[in-house]
């Protein structure tokens, strides 16, 4: 690469601005503006790309709506009722609360689509439940909450899959279906590891829930349990688009919490709107910056150049997927997942298409990689969130999370080399890819 070229100078500026603390989205916009200035291109192209990309992609609306739905769930009593129901299912086994942590992530995966929302909401409650009376160490509870939270964006709905669909034009509905089996596989492997650890460390056995209380607990949780059924049913029946389903999920969570459970005050409601707006704005700025920067990347013909280079290596689809996995796993240790999804992944898509790799399969592999990045040091956003929640040293959390990360990598290997684990359900419902 010529370090004096406009593209190289733009990259250097972006990197410098990001390192001194400027948000990545703004850094990309500044670098793109400098590139257009140095090449003598129309500076108004930045605004044109940003506005066209943000206002013509209807699917982007799903992101703030899923975030809002998760906030409404967390401020209401939906989370508490669902955790009580999960305890009925698996709480009576050795290490039962740890198993509840995994099961609640599977259920919440069908509602929020966000790993961070899962960790900050139900994860906070699980941390308190597991460490009460010193039944589990704070570091183990935090580590388990972090690794189980990544299930959320793999099982539908999924905000990362929405963003992948934005950059790849893959079907969101089929992407959601494709994530179902990998998400359940990852959850199964985590439950197996919990059982192994529980036996080795002699974790406590919780008092079984009396049979006479189970119907009442199930009935109290039933409206909450119906949320993923309603959400996914509307999407796959064709009644709503994924974006409309996200709006329906937010409305449903609000109505259930206010009318049925009566657990939300006006102050809680206002606070949830503020949190959702701030989170959505940060993601929106990153999307805006990536749209502008992707225009620069396209003008420089970077994706086609990489495609020609890799094709010249006579790379097979399997070799390419291995290469992508290695690159994304390394980048996940140092970069934020959304940035990888919006900046790095679009560069790989033309090559994947040229090699005949299915875009739904590729998308699920990419999302699982990005979820791994949330729990791998040194960046591991979920690790830092759980450090703040639990007060446990991050090194202890990493130590306790290591066996679970190993099984997550095993899950990634399985879905990479056995595409049917991703494509079985989409093809069952008519996918022709």
309 to 231, 305, 314, 330: CA distances (angstroms): 43, 6, 9, 21
State pLDDT tens for residues 46-66: 777 777 766 666 677 777 888
Nearest to 242 by CA among 147, 363, 159: 159
How many angstroms separate the Cα of 287 from the Cα of each of 33, 47, 90? 16, 13, 40
Nearest CA-CA partner of 287 in 179, 423, 136, 159: 159
- Inform me whether the pLDDT recorded for 295 exceeds 60: yes
Q: How many angstroms separate the CA atoms of 381 and 390, rounded?
A: 14
The pLDDT confidence band at residue 3, using thresholds 50, 70 and 90, is low
Secondary structure element (H or E) that encloses residue 305, with its range: helix 302-312
Q: How far is CA 306 from CA 15, 173, 350, 365, in A?
A: 21, 29, 9, 20
Most confidently modeled range among 21-25, 174-178, 295-299: 174-178
Confidence tier at 93 by pLDDT (50, 70, 90): confident
Give the count of alpha carbons within 13 A of 376, CB side only.
20
pLDDT tens-digit series, residues 392-413: 888 899 999 999 999 999 999 9
Give residue limits of the domains in the chain: 44-428
C-alpha closest to that of 74 among 107, 127, 123 = 123
Q: What is the average per-residue pLDDT within 215-233?
A: 84
**pTM for the model:** 0.81
Question: Quick check: 167 pLDDT over 80?
Answer: yes
At 205 the three-state DSSP class reads strand
CB 166 within 8 A of CB 60: yes
Beta partners for residue 94, in sequence order: 205
CA distance 246 to 251: 9
User: Distance between terminal CA atoms of the chain?
Assistant: 37
């Amino acid at each position: 690469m010529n370090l004096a070229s406009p593209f190289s100078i733009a990259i250097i500026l972006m990197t410098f601005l990001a390192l001194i603390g400027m948000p990545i989205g703004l850094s990309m916009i500044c670098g793109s503006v400098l590139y257009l200035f140095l090449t003598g291109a129309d500076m108004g192209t930045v605004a044109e790309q940003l506005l066209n990309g943000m206002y013509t992609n209807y699917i982007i609306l799903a992101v703030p709506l899923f975030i809002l739905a998760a906030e409404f769930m967390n401020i209401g009593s939906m989370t508490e009722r669902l955790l009580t129901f999960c305890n009925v299912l698996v709480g009576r086994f050795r290490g039962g609360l740890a198993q509840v942590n995994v099961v609640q992530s599977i259920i919440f995966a069908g509602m929020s689509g966000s790993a961070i929302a899962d960790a900050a909401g139900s994860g906070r409650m699980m941390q308190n439940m597991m460490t009460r009376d010193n039944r589990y160490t704070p570091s183990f509870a935090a580590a388990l909450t972090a690794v189980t939270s990544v299930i959320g964006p793999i099982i539908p709905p999924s905000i990362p899959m929405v963003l992948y669909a934005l950059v790849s034009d893959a079907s969101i509905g089929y992407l959601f279906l494709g994530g179902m089996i990998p998400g359940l596989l990852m959850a199964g492997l985590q439950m197996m590891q919990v059982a192994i650890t529980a036996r080795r460390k002699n974790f406590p056995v919780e008092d079984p829930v009396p049979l006479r209380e189970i119907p009442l607990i199930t009935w109290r949780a039933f409206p909450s349990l119906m949320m993923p059924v309603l959400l996914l049913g509307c999407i796959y029946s064709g009644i709503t688009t994924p974006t409309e389903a996200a709006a329906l999920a937010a409305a449903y969570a609000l109505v259930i919490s206010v009318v049925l459970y009566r657990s939300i005050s006006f102050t809680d409601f206002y606070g949830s709107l503020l949190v959702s707006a701030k989170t959505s704005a940060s993601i929106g700025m990153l999307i805006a910056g990536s749209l502008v920067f992707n225009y620069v990347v396209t003008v420089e013909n970077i994706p086609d150049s990489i495609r020609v280079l890799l094709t010249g290596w006579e790379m097979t689809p399997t070799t390419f997927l291995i290469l992508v996995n290695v690159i994304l796993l390394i980048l996940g240790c140092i970069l934020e997942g959304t940035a990888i999804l919006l900046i790095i992944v679009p560069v790989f898509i033309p090559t994947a298409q040229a090699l005949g790799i299915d875009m739904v399969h590729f998308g699920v592999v990419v999302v699982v990689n990005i979820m791994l990045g949330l729990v791998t040091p040194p960046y591991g956003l979920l690790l830092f969130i759980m450090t703040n929640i639990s007060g446990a040293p991050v090194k202890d959390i990493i130590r306790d999370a290591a066996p679970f990360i190993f099984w997550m990598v095993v899950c990634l290997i399985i879905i990479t080399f056995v595409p049917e684990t991703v494509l079985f359900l989409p093809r069952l419902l008519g996918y022709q890819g």
